[in-house]
Copies of this chain bind each other. A is one copy, B any other.
Amino acid sequence: MSNLSSILERVDDNLEGAVARLFELVRIESISTDPAHAGDCAAAAEWLAKDLIEIGFEAQVVATKGHPMVLAHHDGPDGAPHVLFYGHYDVQPVDPIELWECPPFEPQVVTTPDGTKHLTGRGTSDDKGQLMTFVEACRAWKAETASLPIAVTILFEGEEESGSHSLGPFLEEYAEELKADIALVCDTGMWDRSTPAISTSLRGLVGEEVIINAASRDLHSGMYGSAAANPIHVLTRMLGELHDHDGMVTLPGFYDGVPEVPDEIKEMWKGLGFSESVFLGEVGLSVPAGEKGRTVLEQTWSRPTAEINGIWGGYAGEGFKTVIPAKAGAKVSFRLVGEQNPDMIRESFREFVRARLPGDCKAEFHTHGGSAAITLDVDMPELKKATAALKDEWGKDTALIAMGGSIPIVGDFQSELGMNSLLIGFAHADDNIHSPNEKYDLASFHKGIRSWTRILEALG
């Protein structure tokens, strides 16, 4: 234990340097969905590989058809367990840019009125700040003991925010190098500011883009109005029918394979003391939308959803233009639970659209990723060890929670590499991930590093 104390002390002493390193990484504009930022994604991968080599890892940047992977390895003591740590260095786009109070790629330490210190910038929470908590824990171990207590393989992906297209082929090709006793994934949140959490179930995700094409060119609504098909009408009408008045998704077969949450789990969730009014109130809302008769936790953790994430068509600029556009489109995503089949859901949506197409309109579809929901084994011994380590750091029991978001790689680890995952993260609900003004609490970063430092030992 004296070993651990001195490593933790080193973490505390070196926090400033850790923040400076994270800021270097945040400054790289690695927006994976935007082809204009491909160079930045490569730069982020290079930066990480270099940093891992400095720590003492064998690290390489592996080219893919998309953005590169970072793959690194460090041995542990003979016979020690072997973990695969996963994170992603790519980030979400930053629009609407005008809503950022601090520039997204110029990270700062900001002290809020209540004295909390925030690290600001795109990716500070999702996922650069989180993955660096693990890297910094390894750095402290190496600096203090010249070794790691377990064997560690690291995989950093650059396409998590844009469909992970290269991941499948990569996992297949590098299966032998990636296989470990368990995967550690740091891309999730805490239960609240003082309670650590491990996520044991994750929803799946289907991303779809639909474009409705009508006339061969934009038309004047005075000349053609009502006589010519307006693709915005077609789109709004069909998307307006995607939910019924009880908030249920109307796609045929959508609820096939959706399990009812067992009463004991519902009871456990009730015990978490989740406040719907606080959760919604933080973002200016007060009335739960969505499925009638379901709590907010049930909706976001255990129920499948359909959300329109973007819509466009016609003139959206300043002023007015009396146009009937030639086309209009929308991006729609589905969160899946239980045994819902991503391919079936996608096909059901396409059929739903086709069935509502009037004459003269054609529908065009684009696939943006698909993954099934995942439930992890809550009895694995590594989970007990990790929760004990987290209790040492936070002084509280770990909440075992579900997660509304989707981390497709956890399913791939399960199906492709036969590995369980431990999902441990230090983000907060108000981190504004995927939104303007993303931040990561300095405390999340600091105690996150300390938590991994302890977990590395606990697993050893």
Contacts and interface: CB of A to CB of B under 8 A. Distances in A.
B227 A335 contact: no
A79 interface: no
A296 B333 contact: no
| Best-surrounded residue of A243, A320, A331, A368 (most CB of chain B within 10 A) | A320
B318 A286 contact: no
What is the size category of the interface that chain A forms with chain B? 35 or more
A93 interface: yes
Contact of A432 (B217, B358, B403): B217
Interface stretch (A40-48, A129-137, A301-309, A450-458): A301-309
A33 interface: yes
Interface stretch (A7-15, A171-179, A287-295): A287-295
Interface in A264-316: 276, 279-280, 283-291, 296, 299-300, 303, 305, 307-316
Contacts of A139: none
A236 interface: yes
A428 to B, nearest CB: 11
Contacts of A113: none
A80 interface: no
A320 B205 CA distance: 12
Interface stretch (A18-26, A322-330, A379-387, A416-424): A322-330
Given A289-B360, A300-B223, A320-B33, A308 B217 contact: no
Contacts of A207: 320, 322
A303 B226 contact: yes
Nearest to A163: B320
A315 B319 contact: no
A315 B322 contact: no
